[in-house]
Amino acid sequence: MYLDLFCDSNSDGIGDIQGLINRLIYIKKLGINCIWILPLYNSPMMDGGYDVSDFLSIRGNLGTISDFQRLIKKAHKMDIYIILDMVINHTSDKHYWFEASSDPNHKDFEKYKDYYIWSDDDKKYTDTKVLFRDYEKSNWEYSTKRGEYYFHRFYKFQPDLNWQNKEVFKEYEKILSFWIDLGVDGFRFDAVPYLYKEEGIDSENLPGTHKILKNIKSFIKSKTKKDLLFLVEANSQMDDLIKYFGDGFNEANMAFNFTVMPRIFLSIATGNKIYIENGIKRTLPIPYNNSWAIFLRNHDELNLDMLNPNDLPLFFGLFGKENVKFNNGLAERLASLFKDNKHKIILAYGILLSLNGVPIIYMGDELDTVSDLKDIPRNVIYDKRTIVRSKINWDIAEKYIWDRQSTYNHIRDMLLIRKKYEKEFSFSDISLVRSDSEGLLVYERFYGRHHFMYIFNISEYEKSFHIKTLGVNKFRTLLLSRVHVDYSMINMLTYSFVWIKVL
């Protein structure tokens, strides 16, 4: 969540730490046990806080370090963990390190001159693609003060750090120590594939990057006996992605699964299960003590890099509007993508929350929050991702809490089932079950003597069938949405699902 968009406690129009403290009960009742706070550090806010100017501070309009300590204490009393977004690929060009590094006349120039990647020309790393190609023409920007070019994978105001300089690692030891000492339960490390650069290749997912992350993990383990969450954002193909788990202990213990997510949308939009099934088949096994982070939407664009390129025209044709395209994706909220169709939204969560991994819900999606097209840009740059960074409407929240048919309560019910069968969801694999209809998605999992099956009608047509056609005789219904069970007959309305326990 973005603190500044979540809950405003003092009526200044900006959400804050106290606002989150006041609403912890709302989060607890939904069934959430961990809050991932997006960048809260001092920042010019040119890129939603990912342009950090001071990692050892909190933006003044959000609150103080003392407020943050109160949040940690209150959250822990309610068995809620707090993790922070940690930006390690770059800083803001307003960070003290860069101000010193870019100015030979600065008193600390000698200390910081190699904290970033500098070159006499813009000819290095030519095989490294420009990520924000709609906004930046090059990965290099000229500094008139220093008379050299500096490297940036993202916006020009976000210079990349030079991780080949050991002093950079020492700085992050101080930063991580500071927040660990305050009691955080882990970190989500941003944009990790780009940390290490080499000539002649695309500079993504390199061995040098894994060495950096392993060193960070080693430091964290030496700093605290707590098993902190080490979540990495690596929007990469599955073969590269699973390498971030290392041996299961020495690198990440959680990573986002970008392979399944876009295929959930495609299957629901087309009524064809083949896309989700392909996503499940493509998801590779990981060490037993690690986990995938699974999600539908987040604070960025819906990224489509992991889709088959042949499916991109179909996806854009189904969901795309020119004003929400951002790079190779769409800057749209979940509810807006499904045109506020509650049945499709709840179905999407029915699929997500039955999959292997730790589900992540983007703030407001439980309230069917739509894209905000009115408040763009937040700053001087037209970043379409601002569309999905919309505020929580607490009047709507109050209504959703009391409405048993709301998305909020459907998610709450699903999370209750997941909690009841936590081991079964965490330590068992999914197996696809054959069905004759392309619009009927079925899979199952086994754990010890327990056998679960999940049945989804992802089509615009109603379906009725005998449960024996899926190889089931006796069962107990755990959860359903728009499904009527008549003994052994399953009658499914459009965009519906049922979770069952096979007896």
103 is catalytic: no
C-beta of residue 284 within 8 angstroms of C-beta of residue 244: no
Sorted by sequence, the CB contacts under 8 Å of residue 395 that are 6+ apart come out as none
In sequence order, what are the beta bridge partners of 90? 160
C-beta of residue 433 within 8 angstroms of C-beta of residue 471: yes
Q: If we measure between CA atoms, which residue out of 351, 338, 328 comes closest to residue 276?
A: 351
In sequence order, what are the beta bridge partners of 441? 456
In sequence order, what are the beta bridge partners of 501? 452, 476
Tell me how far apart the alpha carbons of residues 302 and 256 are, in angstroms, rounded to a whole number: 13
190 is catalytic: yes
Tell me how far apart the alpha carbons of residues 96 and 112 are, in angstroms, rounded to a whole number: 9
C-beta of residue 501 within 8 angstroms of C-beta of residue 460: no
Q: What SS3 state is found at 137?
A: coil
Tell me how far apart the alpha carbons of residues 182 and 482 are, in angstroms, rounded to a whole number: 46
Residue 495 region, left (φ>0) first, then alpha (ψ -120 to 50), else beta? left
Residues 4, 93, 190, 424: which is the catalytic one? 190
Please write down the long-range contacts of 281-288, taking CB distance under 8 Å and 24 or more positions apart. Answer: 281/432, 282/238, 283/238, 283/257, 283/259, 283/356, 284/238, 284/239, 284/242, 285/429, 286/242, 286/245, 286/248, 287/245, 287/247, 287/248, 287/249, 288/248, 288/427
Q: If we measure between CA atoms, which residue out of 324, 367, 319 comes closest to residue 339?
A: 319
Tell me how far apart the alpha carbons of residues 47 and 51 are, in angstroms, rounded to a whole number: 6
Residues 4, 16, 233, 383: which is the catalytic one? 233
| Residues with a known catalytic role | 190, 233
